């Protein structure tokens, strides 16, 4: 059980770092959805089924859709960072 939880947390954190690192915003958004999905499973394991449902439908589902619509109407690539 603890191993499973540890695994979920690790995946979540790695996905978050990936969301921060990706230059392609679409990839970053998908990584973000993965974070929400992992969070939702963790919520379920923490005995919060209501929150797990809400996070899965709103966090992982609708948020991603909203992001994708917005990216469609703007730009997809993050600009390169200059050294500062």
Partner 1 sequence: MSFLEDYVHYGGCFALIMVGLYVVLVKSNLIKVIIGINLIDTGINLFLISAGYIRTGTAPIFSGAAQEPGKMVDPVPQALVLTAIVIGVSVLALALSLAIRLHGHYDTLDLRKIKELRW
Partner 2 sequence: MRKLISVTLLLVIVMIAVFSVSHAMFGAEGARRTGGLREDGVNFGRRYNNRALDETGAANVVAAVVVSYRGFDTLGEVTVLFVAALGLGALLYGARREKNAKEREPASLIVFTGCRFLFPLVLLFGAYVLAHGHVTPGGGFQGGAIVASGFVLVYLGCRGTLPAGRLAAAESLSGLAFVVIGFIGLAVGGSFLLNFLPRGTPLALFSAGVIPVIYVAIGLKVGSELGGIIGNLAGEVSE
Among 81, 84, 75, CA closest to 21: 81
Cβ atoms of 31 and 15 closer than 8 Å = yes
d(CA 42, CA 8): 7
Take residue 81 and report the two structure tokens written for it: 């960072």
Query: For partner 2, how many residues bind (rule: CB under 8 A)?
Result: 16
Contacted by 26, from partner 1, partner 2, none: CB < 5 to 8 Å by type: none
What residues contact residue 17 under an 8 Å CB cut-off, 6+ apart?
A: none
Query: For partner 1, how many residues bind (rule: CB under 8 A)?
Result: 43
What's the length of the chain? Answer: 84
Task: Give yes or no for residue 57 binding partner 2 (CB under 8 A).
Answer: yes
Rg of the chain over all Cα atoms, to the nearest angstrom: 15
Task: Give yes or no for residue 82 binding partner 2 (CB under 8 A).
Answer: no
Which residues of this chain interact with partner 1, rule CB under 8 A? 2, 5-6, 9, 12-13, 16-17, 19-20, 25, 28-29, 32, 35-36, 39, 42-43, 46-51, 54-55, 58-59, 62-63, 66-67, 69-71, 73-75, 78-79, 81-82
Which residues of this chain interact with partner 2, rule CB under 8 A? 48-50, 52-54, 57-58, 61-62, 65-66, 69-70, 73, 84
């Amino acid at each position: 059980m603890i191993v499973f939880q540890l695994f979920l947390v690790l995946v979540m954190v790695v996905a978050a770092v990936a969301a921060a690192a990706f230059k392609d915003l679409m990839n970053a958004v998908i990584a973000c959805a993965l974070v929400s999905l992992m969070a939702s499973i963790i919520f379920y394991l923490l005995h919060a089924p209501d929150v797990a449902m809400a996070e899965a439908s709103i966090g992982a589902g609708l948020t991603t859709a909203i992001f994708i619509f917005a990216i469609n109407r703007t730009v997809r690539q993050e600009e390169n960072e200059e050294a500062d």
